[in-house]
Structure 1
């Protein structure tokens, strides 16, 4: 099939799943040469549950074998069989199951959405990401900073987190600012409970877990704070850190089931795992960061590059890395290492991220790899130009794409096959921290040390 006919079919598929087929007039059955045949008789009398199950399986096969974009034309061809089969396209259960399988989406973005509308939104947003169709804006946070020229008072953004409706930014003074994505308004500033400091940046934010219900953030000294997203009560300190015995909390991540902290500074205590519901510590151990102890302690007095990263997958695995090692362990069987590797060329820690299903990392030669967390098997690879020159690389990924920044150049690849797509037009300087949202797949957010008073936001949502 030619590229033009393929794109036409894909566009027609978009119209069918969106219900935008008014230009086709009254539906006309396909010619006998295109009509599906069955030894069981007229396909128009097949039971609706059977047809619905068939449509789901056709979509799943197309998605798994070719890619998510193949679902629309596959369903388009299926619904052309006859008007009876086309009625299945109005099944909310079908679109709910498809949205869950194809887009890994388990709840509606808007309460008034149908599941078909949710699927269409995800499909078109994914296409926007693929074709560089987005809006760009900045979020300002210059409150409580009196002297912009005084480097001692300039805030450094250390972590970003995105949910469906909000963006949270954690700073070097321990504060977290919450923004509303749709209006771009700064809503609240969450402040930690201060105590005696071990160093100037001991309260700097080292990780954020954000949902539409609550905000959880941790600092280098090991404190963990929890606050309701509506700021109805002040942030409370859920866990007291003990840096002298545990080391410095260099990264913090998690889900609604687990909190995972990566520490550096004290041998044999690299990982701390908490039950997110009870907030109880359930595991301490690991030697991953033993060789990074000095780098960990330095974070208390100076803001250096990433020491290590930790991410939690949708299947209860924790992915952790330093510049020398990558490790995956099972949160359901704490202490059990699922996979481990010491890459020959080392790892650029700032490039490591996970979308919950797969992970990405770039080595010091600039070779990027998307891998399966459970086995570290390589799914695809790509090249980040300039990384081999020792430049800082900051990266992230969502379900469909990988974004890497090197000295202000923002490049996008497809996560499924490693194909290069484009560079973002905006150049904001070298990014110090960047995050792609892991839930709604709509935004890229970044902060630049050369432009400290605002956060940059790219919105790929349907438009």
Structure 2
């Protein structure tokens, strides 16, 4: 890479501390430039590079950060030398791609480049499609309905109406194991249906409509155990469940004033109960135990120790650090919300309404980031850090949620969809014949 040809720039690689010498301008003498500017240390240049790249990602889009970095590295050889700093790429990966751990590549620079290429593939529809197969365990599998999907870097988990959670290894596309909730007396035929899955590292946590929460480490050393015994009579029906390694959050319907239950995900301790979000849906909640009704509500845990939940007419933001006192921020949507197409990722939420519009909002203050108009008939949706994915009429479509633009549709038609999920690399969907489809944008 060549250095800048401007007469106001010089290479400062021999200046002390590995910094760069900043010059005043073409009309100044060389001695004046040295005396007035001195050396810019590497930590300063790294901080500048992070600031410029993050600013570009927030104002233009995450893919724009690469061009901003390229411009910085072209200033001179010393500025280009900071590109070899692993700390720089770690900060960039965390700030732009929200990557907390180095798991996919051997260095932070490789991790950043990989994430950028994957996002670029997402934008240009470069993917590999596969279906995941599993062997039925009994004669009732023909009538199974997939209720939830969860993704991690190397695994996919699918939760079904009979309470089973099937775990797949994504690199090999193999079905690894099936987890069944512990048997106990049920209040209805679907009380053991899976209502939410948390999947991270080698840990699986899932909940069922009756309020039971089970967990297992799928490295072969920890059997499935019940971490929480649900009390559906006093708490209501656990209609959705989500979280991360730090928090578990359950959304309930059926008992007034008990819409949310929050656990510490590390200690499994219950830390908060309350909320009235689902009070109008109490009767619908009880019906879920006996019939597979529509989706009552959604709950998502996002960055900043917050959770965001919705029903068909309201969105509530929870601040999870307020232990013992549930803090809520509520907003009503007169147009109605398509609950199955609602999703949140990092610190953004996609709120599709019944009129065919979808608004992307920043969760903290619910301010609008962008909006786009969907095709009619959208009933499921999900999102990652840069793209929204919707299903309607047998077609999966992708939207740029940084600019509010429609991009393309998937080549494959999958029939009736009953679960849809996306992360930064994959999109997964399950249709009514229990076939699991997987689209991989990171097969590079």
TM-score between the two structures when normalised by the length of structure 2: 0.91
- CA RMSD in angstroms, aligned pairs only: 1.9
CA distance, structure 1, for counterparts of residue 78 and residue 320 of structure 2: 47
Match of 1:273 among 262, 268, 272: 262
CA distance, structure 1, for counterparts of residue 42 and residue 253 of structure 2: 58
CA distance, structure 1, for counterparts of residue 187 and residue 54 of structure 2: 53
Partner of 1:252: 241
The number of equivalent residue pairs is: 423
Q: Which moved more, 1:69-78 or 1:254-263?
A: 69-78
| Residue 436 (structure 2) pairs with residue 458 (structure 1) | no
Q: Cα offset for 1:31?
A: 2.2
CA offsets 1:63-103 (integer angstroms, 9 cap, x no match): 22222222222222222222222221111111111111111
Partner of 1:180: 169
CA distance, structure 1, for counterparts of residue 217 and residue 137 of structure 2: 22
| Residue 194 (structure 2) pairs with residue 200 (structure 1) | no
Query: What SS class does the counterpart of residue 147 from structure 2 fall into?
Result: strand
* Contact residue 443 and residue 459 of structure 1 kept, 8 A: yes
Query: What SS class does the counterpart of residue 192 from structure 1 fall into?
Result: coil
Partner of 1:394: 380
1:54-453 aligned within 5 A: 54-110=48-104, 113-146=106-139, 153-334=142-323, 335-387=325-377, 393-437=379-423, 441-449=424-432, 451-452=433-434
CA distance, structure 1, for counterparts of residue 368 and residue 87 of structure 2: 34
* Contact residue 169 and residue 177 of structure 1 kept, 8 A: yes
CA offsets 1:281-317 (integer angstroms, 9 cap, x no match): 2222111111111111111111122111111111111
Q: Aligned pair in 2 of structure 1 residues 49, 145: CA closer, same or farther (>3 Å)?
A: same
Query: What SS class does the counterpart of residue 97 from structure 1 fall into?
Result: helix
Q: Cα offset for 1:227?
A: 0.5
CA distance, structure 2, for counterparts of residue 65 and residue 448 of structure 1: 37
Q: Aligned pair in 2 of structure 1 residues 186, 44: CA closer, same or farther (>3 Å)?
A: farther
CA distance, structure 2, for counterparts of residue 462 and residue 429 of structure 1: 25
* Contact residue 44 and residue 82 of structure 1 kept, 8 A: no
Q: Cα offset for 1:332?
A: 1.2
CA distance, structure 2, for counterparts of residue 147 and residue 413 of structure 1: 37
* Contact residue 338 and residue 375 of structure 1 kept, 8 A: no
Query: What SS class does the counterpart of residue 280 from structure 2 fall into?
Result: helix
CA distance, structure 2, for counterparts of residue 34 and residue 378 of structure 1: 43
CA distance, structure 2, for counterparts of residue 445 and residue 188 of structure 1: 18
Give unmatched runs, 5+ long, in structure 1.
Answer: 1-26
